[in-house]
Amino acid sequence: MELLGLAFALQVLRISVPYALAAMGGTLSERSGVVNLALEGMLLGGAFSATVGSFYGGAAAGVVAGAFGGLLVAALYAWVVLRFGADQIVAGVAINLLALGATRYLLKLIFDSASSSPSVPGFDGAGWAGLFIALTALCVVAIHGWLMLTPGGLRLRAVGDQPAAAHSLGVDVLAVRWRAVLAAGVLAGLGGAWLALDNHGFVDRMSGGRGYIAIAAMIFGRWQPLTATAACLLFGLADALQLNLQTTTTLLPREWVQMLPYVLTMVALVGVAGRSRPPAALGTPFGR
């Protein structure tokens, strides 16, 4: 019965925040034609820099630092992928490995620990968390509106579908993609900041595959901000159920619940292939 309570709903929201932020970043990036498996690394980079920021300057500084950390990871990814035309899948996986190794190295360098940072100021009380959740929701709506109703959004969609057409009309394809990937970094970095500050510190491998879940949600939501967010909530619900099932029931093995988002995504992908399409130029480098 407690599953239906307010606390449970809040827990679902809390879990969904980093998913939604990363999925928004993924949506922007992929709608512009850039595959973004590097979300995982951006989340991790964001979480770590948020911890460092909060350690030295408090929670607010942590949030800013988190966004900056994600931006930094995104800049490296964008540079390799957009400047050099590196394969986006390979580069994404490499960025994730890099973020993993680099955060561990820095954990030792800065905090002299192999597994976790000391406790840092984080989100205490409902105020902070509520604000962050509200801002996330606002962010989703704003991105949806921007994408569908503004010149910038139109250009981004055009660049992801037919970059040559956009280029022929004087749209700077690479500039649009750069901005999209950097925005993805900021959003995923904020998602990472939430992870770290909600937990009052950084833990090795803290992103724990959430970047991939965000990609799954984005695909499940067919590259649309609103439906992708709905998918994030669904996956957050699955997570919350799993956490609660662990303690309450053995009806459904929790490993099965754990699998749920991934299985759903595969099913969705099979369905998507026939009906809705990913951006046509997804993963294809653009050069003159």
Binding mask 226-265 for another protein (x = CB under 8 A): ---------------------------x-xx-xx--xx-x
Q: What are phi and psi of 252, to 5 degrees?
A: -120, 125
Inter-residue contact 229 to 220 (CB < 8 Å)? no
Type and span of the H or E element at 95: helix 88-111
Amino acid identity for residue 53 in this structure: G
Residue 104 contacts another protein per CB under 8 A? yes
Binding mask 46-75 for another protein (x = CB under 8 A): ------------------------------
Residue 100 contacts another protein per CB under 8 A? yes
How far does Cα 72 stand from its chain's mean position?
14
Q: Which member of 14, 144, 157, 179 binds another protein (CB under 8 A)?
A: 157
User: Contacts with another protein in 183-222 (CB under 8 A)?
Assistant: 209, 212, 215-216, 219
Binding mask 10-29 for another protein (x = CB under 8 A): --------------------
Two structure tokens written together for 49:
């820099």
Two structure tokens written together for 148:
């569908």
Two structure tokens written together for 288:
């003159």
Give burial (CB, 10 Å; 0-12/13-18/19+) of 51.
Answer: buried
Supply the DSSP symbol for 96.
H
CA distance 185 to 12: 24
Given the rule CB under 8 A, which residues bind another protein? 37, 76, 80, 83-87, 89-91, 93-98, 100-102, 104-105, 108-109, 114, 149-151, 153-155, 157-158, 161-162, 164-171, 209, 212, 215-216, 219, 253, 255-256, 258-259, 262-263, 265-266, 269-270, 272-274, 278, 280, 285, 287-288
